[in-house]
Structure 1
């Protein structure tokens, strides 16, 4: 039994670590990164958790009053396929695998900082194992609300086999053969691989174990494994679709270059002023904060019935906007066209957040009807891109998501829904929100708001 905290504790020079860290590869085989003798090529950083070698296993012990501890590779990797087995015995022992992880040894007053992509190991009832978390940076990129059928893949108290592919700007994960997460992002092109022992809040949980074994990697002759099932792709690239998305019926509503497919609401053409397309971003310029009283809303030429709609948006301080759906343009009203609205709002600085009932005009809410249940930590700050999603199922079940996390659901046309409408500003509109089909609308509310990656899939 050997306890190790850092590579230096092994008495091995940095030169020897570098030369031994990556065994030679032949063909398409994965090669071991740990051979059960010592942790040559790895180092422990940030926290004070200790790692033990026992046979062919690496065991991490939770440590109270310590930040997260990471056992990271000395070497950095770009494209690779990584496989390993991981076991967690207690719900307190959250863990994860850093991929293309970044390490700043001078951060936190010299205590160091690990940040970047992490494939999660989540033993709690939330069950987001295999999802992608952007450690110490953007937060969740792929929570398992995006793929709820994969929540059962991870088994607490048992060995779980992870497969992780990091090739180009695509990241995919499997647990025990189940397809879990699919992300497209270009934030980091290379970085460390790391094994995490998470910080703990309860001192009574000190000493709980996280186990790793059979850590293997392939860096050459990579052959990506296609997902057989349809899964939602968290595609953070700019207005592009993967082959997986195309094969499963996704299409872009905004091509990143033109206004093709969009016109002004109650118009026959696209607004000549106010709406701009720059560097793959569609944005409305700031005016006087008035609702559709300056340059006007824009709508899709096409109408949609049941669909999965996703979009990225970026707010400026105090901004207000919205993405509406089932817009018919038949009401003849003044102001913004009538429709169900995914609210886009700076909750902190816009007064609308305090209006309505119980927060039902805040970000990601069904405007004036249902409040989005969201935690502040899952909302990205002003100036950063947030991801919205609206899913309208063929049975009229509707879901709103914010940054991959489901924040509300309801059924169009249900008794409960109609009671909400009766108590809202929409009470005088007959059959509000119950049209069989309608346009998608982006709102001009007199504030600068930007959009990209607007894509949709028809649901049958």
Structure 2
């Protein structure tokens, strides 16, 4: 038995937490990663490296003045009476991690830390939650020592949905296998082969891996089969540096599809017109990849809300009902646009302007310069004219820089995300939504809020806007 112990009392017990980054919510086999059959000590990109050799704690350290860690039966075991983390000596940036954990009872708590930061008696950063309690947040993403829950959010509808669906992948009485994929700002987690979290956040790009003891005195937490595979040559090292308008292997596994191929308008059509007007919309080369550019349209006739009477919105050929959508966008200074969804072309073209979509809108706006931002429900990432984004969660990048947006529209529930943060969510059947809708410009539009299989639309609001990396996954 090899024991790593600090000078503090050996009775101190700590709960283990391991955090790692992965893909998008869905199902994927932990063994499906390319090269997963190889184990190597080389640490080169593409090779699996064992983080624990089964015999010793070589490569690990305890940055706390308390807590006990030792090796027994090819496992790392932790014990403490206050929370602590055992962490790797080496740091990692983009990688796939796998490891197994077993907790002593359903009153415990742990996690896998990844890209974590270390100070004396403190570890903080991303954590893949291990939660055997009735809360059932195992596989969620927690920001230890900083922002708290990133996904799901406690006390919100997303938390209850998580608890009753993917949160059930964890078995409180058995060994549980975790897989974490961290690639650029994409953080994904799987539990026992079921994907539980797909989140975008750029707070930390590199850090240590760690396992947590939560501090329940006398309890022993067990970890084994810890290994990591760096992402580098032969695989895109990060979503930020990857060519836009392409799918990673993890996205393909999770069921994502491209809506824009980077070179053409294949899969797109003009709303209410025979062809996409070339003087308004173009496919251009932008930053090493293709983008859909809305050209500025000066001095064209407009409706009272500013939309042009000629030119018009463009829409997907297909309609979608329940899905997750993500895309990148940037603006010229002072610009206004939007991504609309739940759109019926027939209803949209039944009244003037006949080339403007009627539907829910994820607002795209230069908040600093456009007068529309005077109304909080008209600001970037808002559900236009209905729900304002949470200003504490919103991180809008300036004109000329790419923003990353995500939209969830599943059943009667909707969410808007901006640059890795959920800025609003709603339920179509809630009393609050009914109140907001009654106060909106759409209150008298028949069946506006009726859920349907609808088109996804890029809005023509006369201003210059770029869109790329449009991807969808049906639910």
**Which residue number corresponds to residue 227 of structure 1?**
none
CA contact 1:324–1:342 (8 Å) conserved in 2: yes
Q: With structure 2 as the length reference, what TM-score do the two structures score?
A: 0.61
Aligned Cα RMSD in Å?
A: 5.5
Q: Note if 1:386 corresponds to 2:385.
A: no
**Which residue number corresponds to residue 455 of structure 1?**
471
Inter-CA distance 431–93: structure 2 relative to 1 (3 Å threshold): closer
**Which residue number corresponds to residue 60 of structure 2?**
42
CA contact 2:408–2:415 (8 Å) conserved in 1: yes
**Which residue number corresponds to residue 361 of structure 2?**
341
Shift of residue 424, structure 1, vs aligned partner: 1.9
Matches within 5 A, 1:432-451: 432-434=448-450, 437-445=453-461, 448-451=464-467
CA contact 1:315–1:448 (8 Å) conserved in 2: no
Shift of residue 97, structure 1, vs aligned partner: 2.8
Shift of residue 33, structure 1, vs aligned partner: 0.6
1:194 maps to which of 209, 225, 228: 209
**Which residue number corresponds to residue 306 of structure 1?**
321
Shift of residue 255, structure 1, vs aligned partner: 1.2
CA deviations on 1:153-186 (whole Å, 9 max, x unpaired) are 4478x675233265999976443x2513476999
Q: Note if 1:59 corresponds to 2:78.
A: yes
2:426 maps to which of 409, 429, 435: 409
Q: Note if 1:281 corresponds to 2:299.
A: no
**Which residue number corresponds to residue 229 of structure 1?**
none
- The SS at the match of 2:426 is strand
**Which residue number corresponds to residue 239 of structure 1?**
245
Separation in structure 1 between the aligned mates of residue 104 and residue 337 of structure 2, nearest angstrom: 44
Shift of residue 363, structure 1, vs aligned partner: 4.5
- The SS at the match of 2:445 is coil
**Which residue number corresponds to residue 368 of structure 1?**
385
CA deviations on 1:190-248 (whole Å, 9 max, x unpaired) are 976511559x9xxxx8989894522432769xxxxxxxxxxxxxx88632346786688
1:259 maps to which of 265, 269, 282: 265
2:139 maps to which of 122, 130, 135: 130
Q: Note if 1:269 corresponds to 2:276.
A: yes
Inter-CA distance 336–35: structure 2 relative to 1 (3 Å threshold): same
CA contact 2:365–2:380 (8 Å) conserved in 1: yes
Number of residue pairs the alignment of both structures matches: 398
- The SS at the match of 2:167 is helix
- The SS at the match of 1:152 is helix
Separation in structure 2 between the aligned mates of residue 163 and residue 348 of structure 1, nearest angstrom: 43
Separation in structure 1 between the aligned mates of residue 427 and residue 252 of structure 2, nearest angstrom: 28
- The SS at the match of 2:448 is coil
Gaps of 5+ in 2: 8-39, 231-238
Separation in structure 1 between the aligned mates of residue 130 and residue 394 of structure 2, nearest angstrom: 19
Inter-CA distance 32–314: structure 2 relative to 1 (3 Å threshold): closer
Q: With structure 1 as the length reference, what TM-score do the two structures score?
A: 0.62
CA contact 1:320–1:344 (8 Å) conserved in 2: yes
CA contact 1:150–1:180 (8 Å) conserved in 2: yes
Matches within 5 A, 1:48-87: 48=64, 50-54=66-70, 56=72, 57-59=76-78, 71-74=87-90, 82-85=98-101, 87=103
